[in-house]
Amino acid sequence: MSYARLCFLVCIFIALAACGTLDKEKRAAGRGEPAISGSPFVTVAGNQLLRRGSPYYFVGANFWYGAYLGSTDEGRRRLQKELDQLKSLGIDNLRVLAASEQTELSMAVSPALHLTPGQYNEALLIGLDVLLAEMAKRDMVAVLYFTNFWQWSGGMSQYMAWLTGEPPLDPDVTNDWSGFMQNSAKFYRSREAQEWYQQLIRTIVTRTNSITGVPYVDDPTIMAWQLANEPRPGSDEGGRPFYPHYKEWIQQTAQFIKSLDANHLVSSGSEGSMGTLRDLDLFRDAHDVPEIDYLTFHLWPKNWGWFDVKKAEQTYPQTAANSKAYILQHLQVAKELGKPIVLEEFGIERDGGDYRATAGTGQRDRFFRELFGFVETQVKIGSALVGTNFWSWGGLGIAQSADFVWRPGDPFTGDPPQEPQGLNSVFSRDASTLEVAREHAKFMKSR
Ligand code: IFL
């Protein structure tokens, strides 16, 4: 055989082998089996997430202030300790606030990353770099959200304040939550606000990490970009006429992110039906766009009036039943849309509604155990549920005042500034709660 002919046959052989491998990977993903090799990025295959070619199931936490810790020397020391602890427990998927807006809102965090349209706080951007670099060392992944529907980080209401030149509507002063939500939702239909928001997105997505030198778009430490924390179409009473703008915003923002970054997943940050005018069909419709890779939903028994900490024993059974029903409804939507789904927020107070870090966590442990057990059942039967992030990691943070109110300069806990410090925080010392999470992580990693 001539040398040229031999080379030709070898090339054909290699090409056929490669096709066979790809084919096998596709088939394995379709059957929910581990593929042979795979992308370092978290990717989607049908109702599943894949990481490095294997199905990816996770236990995660909300760590909204991660980039804040990365922005100071003291914070970095705390960050390293906390990431070590989380990693040792198997909690390795962190949902993080990527951008806050500077605001006069009374219960908002400061400093902020987005100072005025187009101007950013470099220290907090570096904080995000540090967070990602430290997470990469520990093989953890992050979900990063770009703004907030709520007031505690400035959020959409601050974009509206920039637009009008008026102070933002402050729901913690007026107590007019419906008015606040209707005003924040104008963000979706303001061309100028969308330009500022997209400029911010472009700045973050196209950034190169100053610590690792890795462009964000090439960094597998990022699992997903997320449009916002809990974006709603408006208030339950008044939001319906504006729903089309909301859906359009979801699709256009996701398209925009994809135009900058083909490697990472995109999700909305929605609470599910409770955040979509209490309408499951609208939740489904809003996420029935190809640019949204996976669904998200949140579960808040106390906020939704199911759980009353003062009548814990009486209200717990209904809380558990409602929670499971809510989960199942959302898994059904995910199945219908053929996408994975993440329960990326849930929480419950400490015993007796006591905010002190020394207060018991019996009721929280019970709730987490019950939810995680339910998640495991759903994972075993191959539903679309791929992971959870509890709300919220409080780590080594601690309330500084007897009134449990956060004030600028105080250490961060898992509870944002609008809520009592200690309300939903899972602290580093909460051994029994963390043991429940660790056990669940073991199961999820075995899938
Ligand atoms: O702290 C809240 C946060 O704004 C959120 N969802 C509910 C949390 C607890 O009330 O995103």
Strands, E, within 200-294: which ranges?
222-226, 265-267
Confidence category of residue 34, pLDDT binned at 50, 70, 90 = very low
Give mean pLDDT, residues 367-396.
Answer: 98
Q: CA–CA separation, 302 vs 248, rounded Å?
A: 31
Find the mean pLDDT for residues 371-377: 98
Q: Which segments of 90-168 does DSSP mark as H helices, in order?
A: 122-137, 155-164
Neighbouring C-beta atoms of residue 425, cutoff 10 Å: 25
Give the atom of ligand 1 at the shortest distance from the alpha carbon of 150. Answer: 4
Q: Report the run of H or E that residue 445 belongs to, with start and end.
A: helix 431-445
Q: Is 50 exceeded by the pLDDT of residue 27? A: no
Q: How many domains does the chain have?
A: 1
Position 20 in a domain: no
Domain that holds residue 237: 31-445
Q: Name the more confident of 15 and 341.
A: 341
Distance 26 CA to ligand 1 centre (A): 38
Structure confidence at residue 239 (pLDDT): 98
Distance between CA atoms of 42 and 222, rounded to whole angstroms?
A: 8
Retrieve residue 113's tokens.
């990353």
What six digits make up the tokens of 60? 């995660």
Q: Ligand 1: which residue has its CA nearest to atom 3?
A: 416
Q: What is the DSSP string of 366-399?
A: HHHHHHHHHHHHHHHTT-SEEEEEES-EEET---
Measure CA 291 to chain center: 17
Q: Is residue 214 part of a domain?
A: yes
The reply to whether 217 falls in a domain is yes
Lowest mean pLDDT among 6-15, 260-269, 288-297: 6-15
Distance, in Å, from the CA atom of 400 to the CA atom of 412, rounded to the nearest integer, reads 10
**Does some domain include residue 345?**
yes
Q: Is residue 12 situated within a structural domain?
A: no
Among 124, 128, 233, CA closest to 189: 233
Q: How many CB atoms lie within 10 A of CB 90?
A: 19
Sign of torsion, CA 156 157 158 161? positive
Give the number of the atom of ligand 1 that is nearest the alpha carbon of residue 300. 7
Compute CA distances 266 → 51, 247, 433, whole Å.
Answer: 15, 15, 30
Instruction: Say which range, 20-24, 151-155, 216-220, 349-353, has the weakest mean pLDDT.
Output: 20-24
Measured CA to CA, the distance from residue 60 to residue 219 in angstroms comes to 19
Q: Which atom of ligand 1 is nearest to the CA of 302?
A: 10
Nearest CA, atom 4, ligand 1: 150
pLDDT tens figures, 282-305: 999 999 999 999 999 999 999 999
Q: Is 193 exposed, middle or buried (0-12, 13-18, 19+ CB in 10 A)?
A: buried
Percent of the chain with pLDDT over 90: 91
pLDDT at 37: 62
Mutate to test the pocket of ligand 1, among 300, 349, 364, 415 (most ligand atoms within 8 A of CB): 300
Does residue 13 sit within a domain?
A: no
CATH number reported for the structural domain that contains residue 164 in this entry: 3.20.20.80
* 220 vs 140: CA distance, rounded Å: 9
Centre of ligand 1 from the C-alpha of residue 19, in Å: 47
Rounded mean pLDDT, 210-228: 98
What tokens appear for 65 in the block? 């202030």
Residue 3 pLDDT: 43
Q: Examine residue 109 and state whether it is found in any structural domain, yes or no.
A: yes
Mean pLDDT throughout 79-94? 98
Q: What is the pLDDT of residues 154-180, one digit of tens each?
A: 999 999 999 999 999 999 999 999 999
- CA separation for the pair 279, 166 (Å, rounded): 33
In a domain, 1, yes or no: no
Task: Give the pLDDT band (50/70/90) at residue 1.
Answer: very low
Average pLDDT score, the chain: 93
CA 97 to ligand 1 center in whole angstroms: 12
Q: How remote is the CA of residue 420 from the centroid of ligand 1, in Å? A: 11
The protein residue with its alpha carbon nearest to ligand 1, atom 10, reads 303
What residues flank ligand 1, with Cβ below 6 Å?
A: 150, 152, 229-230, 300, 303, 345, 391, 416, 419, 424
| CA–centroid distance, residue 436 to ligand 1 (Å) | 22
CA of 203 to the centre of ligand 1 (A): 26
Span from the CA of 147 to the centroid of ligand 1 (angstroms) = 14
